[in-house]
Amino acid sequence: MNNIMNYTKLELENELVQLGEKKFKATQIYEWIYKHRIFSFKEMSNISNKSIEVLEKNFQFDWIKIINVEEDKLTKKFLFELTDGEHIEAVLMYHDYGLSVCVSSQVGCNMHCAFCESGRFGKKRNLEAYEIVEQILLIEKYIGQKIDSIVMMGIGEPFDNFDNVVKFITIMNEPKGIGMGSRHITVSTCGIIPKIKEFGELPFQVNLAISLHAPNNDLRSKLMPINKVYNLSKLIDEIKAYITKTGRRITIEYVMLNAVNDSKECALELANLLKGLNAYVNLIPYNETNANDFEKSKSIDMFYDTLKKQGINVTVRREFGGKISAACGQLRSKYEGDLND
């Protein structure tokens, strides 16, 4: 049986018709699940007993589960166990403008960025759409509040799990379901160019962020192996095409690594690379981990000021989770390391 939360509303309509049911029941089911948070077909009071039998025979509610939570003042880091025993994580962040959750899209990651804990052991598998959806539902239940925005910057490369990520966004965006607006969802990619192109063809207005982290090919290739496949020149050309086609501004993510990518020369190179683009730079203080030698930059203010003086729209992301295992993949790695000790 398939998890009922692994279907977009259109997919569920088609599936119900194949089972001899009316397609309008997909709307009823969506509203029960996502608006009323009812996860038992028997409790869906406007659905007939006969239809409930069909639903119970063909669908199920299959849950991931929270097995650990680390907290500090502005952050909660959730460790989830999947039904096959694998582990992922998500981060809840408290902002002045509301609550955001950074979700995972894969178990592990094949991008192997040098500074990132998520890719240290490679990708084990993609997450199904329902496994991403349930990260949101379980966190909302845990805190007793609604999430205002979602960023797909947790474990995994979202565009390496493109179809399931698109399905997840469609489910979140569905007005009869959770109804989260597209502009409240941000997807981050390290730069898989064919998928950026495909993403630009989609009908929803989801925000796109590019994990850049270096202003030239030599440094970026050392930090991010994906650059050896899709170099900066190709990536910037695709970003320009995406902005032209969609009319949407993009975010450039730049993690600040001490004495690696945070010099004034790097800032000037980055400004020259991005000049004229409808983009803004988000400087990210690095969350240090014992798995590598990278350290948080001591030059963030200088880097910010240099970009500003060059006319680049830039912000510094507020620091989250410095006192907990908030680096991407760190809580999962720590937990699985403890299991193997």
pLDDT tens digits, 284-299:
999 888 878 899 999 9
- Is the same domain home to 246 and 317? yes
Residue 329 has pLDDT above 90, yes or no: no
Shared domain for 175 and 286, answered yes or no, is yes
**In this structure, are 40 and 116 located in the same domain?**
no
Give 292: exposed, middle or buried? Use CB within 10 Å, 0-12, 13-18, 19+. middle
Of the chain, the percentage scoring pLDDT greater than 90 comes to 87
Q: Do 53 and 69 belong to one domain?
A: no
Average pLDDT over residues 110-126: 92
User: At 26, which CATH number?
Assistant: 1.10.150.530
User: Considering the entire predicted model, what is its pTM?
Assistant: 0.93
Q: Are residues 223 and 336 in the same domain?
A: yes
Residue 234 sits in the same domain as residue 329: yes
133 CB contacts (<8 Å, ≥6 apart)? Answer: 5, 168, 171, 172
Which residue range forms the structural domain that includes residue 75? Answer: 65-340
Would you place residue 334 in the very low, low, confident or very high pLDDT band (cuts 50, 70, 90)? low
State the pLDDT at residue 222. 97
Q: Where a domain ends, among 42, 60, 78?
A: 60
Least confident of 29-43, 115-129, 197-211, 241-255: 115-129
pLDDT of residue 118: 84
How high is the mean pLDDT of the chain? 93
Residues 144 and 287 occupy one common structural domain = yes
Question: Which band of pLDDT confidence, cut at 50, 70 and 90, is reported for residue 341?
Answer: very low
Residue 327 scores a pLDDT above 80: no
SS (H, E, C) the chain: CEEHHHCCHHHHHHHHHHCCCCCCHHHHHHHHHHHCCCCCHHHCCCCCHHHHHHHHHHEECCCCEEEEEEECCCEEEEEEECCCCCEEEEEEEEECCEEEEECCCEECCCCCCCCCCCCCCCCCEECCHHHHHHHHHHHHHHHCCCCCEEEECCCCCHHHHHHHHHHHHHHHHCCCCCCCCHHHEEEEECCCHHHHHHHHCCCCCCEEEEECCCCCHHHHHHHCHHHHCCCHHHHHHHHHHHHHHHCCCEEEEEEEECCCCCCHHHHHHHHHHHCCCCEEEEEEECCCCCCCCCCECCCHHHHHHHHHHCCCCEEECCCCCCCCCCCCCHHHHHHHHHHHC
Residue 13 sits in the same domain as residue 120: no
Same domain for 33 and 120, yes or no, is no
Give me the half-sphere count of Cα atoms (radius 13 Å) on the Cβ side of residue 320.
23
Residue 318's pLDDT band (cuts 50, 70, 90) = confident
Considering its fold, how many domains does the chain have in total? 2
Together in a domain, 77 and 202: yes
Which of 60, 77, 104 is at the close of a domain?
60
88-92, 94-98, 231-235: which range is least confident on average? 94-98
Q: Indicate if 131 and 170 belong to the same structural domain.
A: yes
Residues acting as catalytic residues: 89, 328
CB 306 within 8 A of CB 272: no
pLDDT at 335: 56
Distances 165 to 65, 106, 274 between C-alpha atoms, Å: 20, 10, 28
On the question of pLDDT at 262 being above 90, the answer is yes
| Domain-terminating residue out of 60, 80, 104 | 60
**Using 50, 70 and 90 to split pLDDT, how confident is the model at 259?**
very high
Q: Residue 325: which CATH number?
A: 3.20.20.70
Return all residues near 21 (Cβ < 8 A) that are at least 6 apart.
Answer: 51, 54
The verdict on 211 and 295 lying in the same domain is yes
